Structure 1
Amino acid sequence: MAKTVRDNVRNVAIIAHVDHGKTTLVDQLLKQSGTFRVNQQIQHSERIMDSNDLERERGITILAKNTAINYEGVKINIIDTPGHADFGGEVERVLKMADGVLLLVDAAEGVMPQTRFVLRKALGYNLNPLVVINKIDRPDARCQDVINEVFDLFVDLDANDEQLDFKIVYASGRNGYAKLSLDDESSDIRPLLDAIIQFVPKPCYDAEFPLQMQIASLDYNDYVGRIGIGRIFSGTITTGQQVVRIDKTGKQSLHKITDLFAFVGLSREKTLLAMAGDIIALTGIENIDISDTITSVENPQAMPLIHIDEPTLSMVFSVNNSPFCGKDGKFVTSRNLRERLFRELRANVALKVDETASPDAFCISGRGLLHLSILIENMRREGYELQVSKPKVIFKEIDGKRMEPMEYVVIDVPKEMEGQAISLLGARKGEIVSMKTEKQYTHFEFKAPSRGLIGLRNRLLSSTRGEAVMHHNFYDYEPYKGDIVHRTQGVLVSMAAGEATAYALEGLHDRGIMFVKPGEEVYEGMIVGEHCEQNDIVVNVIREKKATNIRQATGEKSVKLSPHREFSLEMALEYIEDDELVEITPKTFRLRKKFLTENERRTTRRQQNPEKVAIP
């Protein structure tokens, strides 16, 4: 049958490695296309699309978002996607809505691990990328070399001839200009907008085919409930229309569309009619979910399900049972925890929640440590208290072999410190893929087991005085690589509850690095420092100096302490061992032993290693 083409719509997703400038470029497209009125107040003048608090604090995109601009009579639907592989679930489902992609590559950094990841997904959907070499204003820009790297990447990923013949636009998102050649003069972003209209394919559909729309994203509103966001692939849809919803299992149910919303700039506006090629939001279907097909009553036909890569990392989330439980949090029960985790599944398609033998604990699986830590941070800010275990990779059984997830790791270190990078990766079963030295830096590419990367970033930064830059993303499953040593030092464990004193901390300074400061509340079993040797020891950090009426020559000297170690949430999760937990509360997080008393820990060790217990 003949296909109908819509000239006045373009659907384009922006994909790139993290921090290559996607969101900043979208800001310029919104501003220069006249989407905002001259007198319109914008809450944030930079990274407008990063509306989530965590996104703005971290400078990363976590959730894929839709916006739309009108340019030269064409509506351009733009999908801003995350760059981190941990949020690959977001990338995969929104690519289904696009007809083309803008592949952004930093003019200095070039091809990076997530560039490979997001491009592989785009090519898998048979999308033709328009390559944008961004940040050409950088003094260390190397545009031609980067273009060669991009072409090599296309070849590595088995791109077809049409995809290999990609068009190139040079841009500076920060300065708001784009051009088709480095020699061109340009002061605005219009060349990029023109390239989108010219090179991104127009939506086409069969005019006689019934309504087919697939849900790729979800939102929630207290008044209308779940909001489904997706693209119409054929037919039309109207407010008040009766439709059939076909879920992942193939079950059909009848519903009535309450409202339709079209994307206009950063907002949504009600509309009565939407056609094939449009990206819209709709309400009226109570339990609408990712991958659902919305189709006609007369001829209901399901669309292929959206494939999401499986999780590679798991952790156990449990109810906080420390002596300080309930002091900070609003939601502290197992019922609260269970409801919140299963509510997260409504939109977080890359997440998996499994019940455990204990009603107070749940096994949570995700795409990576960042993916899970963002969930924990959101829960903490919402008032939840919980405790989480050490992250563990998920192994697979393939053809009778034990397989483990592998990561593609890229590390840039100063030339004189390349030995540290090789040593650290080698100890974690990493294999060098390539090594290249330019100016004062060495660029490494490794393949390494995912479990070997847990805690690696901290050690790499410590051994290179903070100058190393590391990125990684999921590569494939390969046969088990053998045992990997995680943490070589033991920890200092508090023997009592109370307030840490400067006197006690000073007396322990030669035992290792402290994690607490004077005046901080501690409890028995809480981890208060790192031991300088391999074994764990119990210490007293609440000991006070005995008061006497005898004045000593050194008695008036003030106590001088070394700075204590501060942990970020990801650092804390990477640091702990199997017998330890991270306690999360709205105000703070603490490291602790699973069993708080020394007697409990000794009994557990005896049960686990009975052969080491001496015969009386």
Structure 2
Amino acid sequence: VENIPAPTQLEGTPQMLVTSLDYSSYTGRIAVGRVHRGTLREGMNVSLAKRDGSFVKSKIKELHTFEGMGRAKVSEVSSGDICALVGIEGFEIGDTVCDFENPEALPPIAIDEPTMSMLFAINDSPFFGRDGKFVTSRHIHDRLMKELDKNLALRVRKSEEDGKWVVSGRGVLHLSVLIETMRREGYELQVGQPQVIFKEIDGVKCEPIEELTVNVPEEYASKIIDMVTRRKGEMVKMESAGERVNLEFNMPSRGIIGLRTNVLTASAGEAIMAHRFKEYQPHKGEIERRTNGSMIAMETGTAFAYAIDKLQDRGKFFIFPQEEVYAGQVVGEHSHDNDLVINVTKSKKLTNMRASGSDDKVRLIPPVQFSLEEALEYIKEDEYVEVTPKAMRMRKVILDEIERKRANKN
């Protein structure tokens, strides 16, 4: 209160830049922004100044201001108020709502382009339709189209194959928020590996570069720097603050995919990581991704502790005993770089004969549990994450082992 100047009221003809939008199934699209100058009233006739310099006549039906988590209806808003306008048709972000008689446009704002895309597909695994209410391609298509009304940086393109869409967004987090929301609403879908969107600028192949900051205890700094530079990151600055170090890098978006898990492991969970898009720069060359292969279930059934125990030396598991699995599901990470097909549904054959040493206790290492984002960053090109309201599984795109081998040869 002492140091921040009081807001200044700008009088004159009304001006409001549309900076965000909302959507209601009753009233359609709602323009949200801050009134720059003048006063807007309910039922007022206004002009909408478009990006291309044209003007469209329109009318405000209702005005809402934001209170707490909800909105309250008001009759007028003046300079400095953040409000939502109902009734304005055909607006885009960066358009200006201005005076009916003497329209004056404000400079438009730029919307960031998407930098990452993923393949969304209908769930066609053996367990489809068990948990979700909305499983057909029509349901998913309608939901994605609805999302476009209020999610600005999102782009959706129908794929050549039936029941598949290429969805582009601002990064893994942006897209995983959409997937998580859909999952909670009762949708079932499958998602492919995140792909970076490349652009050709002046005949040069360019890729998105992000500004990455990592705050980490001093003893782990060298490990993190080594990890990031291996993924083509360039260190910009390093400053120590007490016992911790702030590291700043410029890094290709491709290198950030799957980095968080490794950084947290290397720093014993101490690292704090943030990144944001900076610009497009020429392609930085090959980046190594996950090198370990997958352990894949051989047949459909219930996983037994007995079988998992005998296979533990082959790698890390992602499933609990008594969990249902299907043929082609990724149940663990192999300790070598090739894929391994294993039978986790084998139970112990019980006989009435006693044998020495055959009744050892089963000692299981707890399985690795992935969050949605970690799973998306973990999978390889030939794998999907299957997302349903109650479960999240990783699987091979081609479930049948013989078909998979044939495809790999081709």
TM beyond 0.5? yes
Deviations 1:292-313 (A, max 9, x none): 4334443455544321121111
Q: After TM superposition, list the pairs within 5 Å mapping 1:43-122 onto structure 2.
A: none
**Distance of aligned partners of 1:436 and 1:275 in 2 relative to their CA distance in 1, 3 Å threshold:** closer
Q: Aligned AA for 2:265?
A: S
Structure 1 counterpart of 2:253, from 450, 453, 462 = 450
Corresponding residue number in structure 2 for 1:475: 278
**Higher mean C-alpha deviation, range 456-465 or range 318-327:** 456-465
**Distance of aligned partners of 1:398 and 1:496 in 2 relative to their CA distance in 1, 3 Å threshold:** same
- Indicate if the aligned counterparts of 2:34 and 2:83 stay in contact, CA closer than 8 A: yes
- How far did 1:443 drift? 3.2
Instruction: Output the CA distance in 1 between the equivalents of 2:39 and 2:273.
Output: 47
Q: Say whether residues 1:202 and 2:8 are aligned partners.
A: yes
Q: Say whether residues 1:216 and 2:19 are aligned partners.
A: yes
Q: Aligned AA for 1:197?
A: P
Deviations 1:53-106 (A, max 9, x none): xxxxxxxxxxxxxxxxxxxxxxxxxxxxxxxxxxxxxxxxxxxxxxxxxxxxxx
Instruction: Output the CA distance in 2 between the equivalents of 1:236 and 1:595.
Output: 60
Corresponding residue number in structure 2 for 1:333: 136
Instruction: Output the CA distance in 2 between the equivalents of 1:372 and 1:214.
Output: 27
Q: Aligned AA for 1:240?
A: G
- How far did 1:439 drift? 4.5
- How far did 1:466 drift? 2.0
Q: After TM superposition, list the pairs within 5 Å mapping 1:83-232 onto structure 2.
A: 193-198=1-6, 202-205=8-11, 207=12, 209=13, 211-232=14-35
- How far did 1:385 drift? 0.8
- 3-state SS of 1:553 partner: coil
- How far did 1:246 drift? 5.0
- 3-state SS of 1:323 partner: coil
- Indicate if the aligned counterparts of 2:29 and 2:149 stay in contact, CA closer than 8 A: no
Corresponding residue number in structure 2 for 1:233: 36
**Distance of aligned partners of 1:434 and 1:248 in 2 relative to their CA distance in 1, 3 Å threshold:** closer
Identity %: 48
Corresponding residue number in structure 2 for 1:4: none
Structure 1 counterpart of 2:168, from 365, 385, 400 = 365
Corresponding residue number in structure 1 for 2:63: 260
Q: Say whether residues 1:486 and 2:289 are aligned partners.
A: yes
Corresponding residue number in structure 2 for 1:176: none
- How far did 1:334 drift? 1.3
**Higher mean C-alpha deviation, range 573-582 or range 549-558:** 549-558
- Indicate if the aligned counterparts of 1:289 and 1:346 stay in contact, CA closer than 8 A: no
Q: Aligned AA for 1:595?
A: I
Corresponding residue number in structure 2 for 1:168: none
Q: Aligned AA for 2:220?
A: M
Corresponding residue number in structure 2 for 1:508: 311
- How far did 1:430 drift? 1.6
Corresponding residue number in structure 2 for 1:124: none
**Higher mean C-alpha deviation, range 536-545 or range 215-224:** 215-224
Instruction: Output the CA distance in 1 between the equivalents of 2:240 and 2:55.
Output: 59
Deviations 1:513-565 (A, max 9, x none): 00111111111110000000010011111111112121233344432111111
Instruction: Output the CA distance in 1 between the equivalents of 2:22 and 2:307.
Output: 52
- How far did 1:409 drift? 2.0
Corresponding residue number in structure 2 for 1:495: 298
- Indicate if the aligned counterparts of 1:314 and 1:363 stay in contact, CA closer than 8 A: yes
- Indicate if the aligned counterparts of 2:10 and 2:38 stay in contact, CA closer than 8 A: no
Deviations 1:389-440 (A, max 9, x none): 1111111211211111112222233333333212211221122222344544
**Structure showing the higher strand proportion among its residues:** 2
Q: After TM superposition, list the pairs within 5 Å mapping 1:286-301 onto structure 2.
A: 288-300=91-103
Unmatched segments (≥5 aa) in structure 1: 1-192, 608-616
Q: Aligned AA for 2:155?
A: K
- Indicate if the aligned counterparts of 2:23 and 2:149 stay in contact, CA closer than 8 A: no
Q: Say whether residues 1:461 and 2:264 are aligned partners.
A: yes
Q: Aligned AA for 1:413?
A: V
Q: Does 1 or 2 have the higher relative contact order (CA < 8 Å, sep 6+)?
A: 2
**Distance of aligned partners of 1:295 and 1:204 in 2 relative to their CA distance in 1, 3 Å threshold:** closer
- 3-state SS of 1:362 partner: strand
Instruction: Output the CA distance in 2 between the equivalents of 1:514 and 1:394.
Output: 32
- 3-state SS of 1:378 partner: helix
Deviations 1:353-375 (A, max 9, x none): 22221231111111111111111
- 3-state SS of 2:249 partner: strand
Instruction: Output the CA distance in 2 between the equivalents of 1:426 and 1:378.
Output: 34
Instruction: Output the CA distance in 2 between the equivalents of 1:441 and 1:282.
Output: 47
CA RMSD of aligned residues (A): 2.3
**Distance of aligned partners of 1:262 and 1:444 in 2 relative to their CA distance in 1, 3 Å threshold:** closer
Structure 2 counterpart of 1:562, from 356, 365, 373 = 365
**Distance of aligned partners of 1:467 and 1:263 in 2 relative to their CA distance in 1, 3 Å threshold:** closer
Instruction: Output the CA distance in 2 between the equivalents of 1:282 and 1:261.
Output: 7
- Indicate if the aligned counterparts of 1:290 and 1:347 stay in contact, CA closer than 8 A: no
- 3-state SS of 1:291 partner: coil
Q: After TM superposition, list the pairs within 5 Å mapping 1:33-52 onto structure 2.
A: none
Structure 1 counterpart of 2:338, from 511, 522, 535 = 535
- How far did 1:264 drift? 4.9
Instruction: Output the CA distance in 1 between the equivalents of 2:5 and 2:262.
Output: 47
**Distance of aligned partners of 1:471 and 1:242 in 2 relative to their CA distance in 1, 3 Å threshold:** closer
Instruction: Output the CA distance in 1 between the equivalents of 2:225 and 2:148.
Output: 39
Q: Say whether residues 1:575 and 2:378 are aligned partners.
A: yes
**Higher mean C-alpha deviation, range 252-261 or range 364-373:** 252-261
Structure 1 counterpart of 2:347, from 526, 539, 544 = 544
Corresponding residue number in structure 2 for 1:127: none
Q: Aligned AA for 1:202?
A: T
Instruction: Output the CA distance in 2 between the equivalents of 1:437 and 1:270.
Output: 50
Corresponding residue number in structure 1 for 2:75: 272
- 3-state SS of 1:195 partner: coil
Q: Aligned AA for 2:8?
A: K
Corresponding residue number in structure 2 for 1:412: 215
- Indicate if the aligned counterparts of 2:23 and 2:150 stay in contact, CA closer than 8 A: no
- How far did 1:444 drift? 2.4
Q: Aligned AA for 1:566?
A: Q
Instruction: Output the CA distance in 1 between the equivalents of 2:300 and 2:398.
Output: 15
Q: Aligned AA for 1:204?
A: L
Q: Aligned AA for 2:382?
A: D
Structure 2 counterpart of 1:386, from 168, 189, 208 = 189
Structure 2 counterpart of 1:308, from 94, 97, 111 = 111
**Structure showing the higher helix proportion among its residues:** 1
Corresponding residue number in structure 2 for 1:435: 238
Unmatched segments (≥5 aa) in structure 2: none
**Distance of aligned partners of 1:532 and 1:250 in 2 relative to their CA distance in 1, 3 Å threshold:** same
Q: Aligned AA for 2:118?
A: M
Corresponding residue number in structure 1 for 2:120: 317
Instruction: Output the CA distance in 2 between the equivalents of 1:387 and 1:397.
Output: 30
Q: Scaled by the length of structure 2, what TM-score is found?
A: 0.92
Q: Scaled by the length of structure 1, what TM-score is found?
A: 0.63
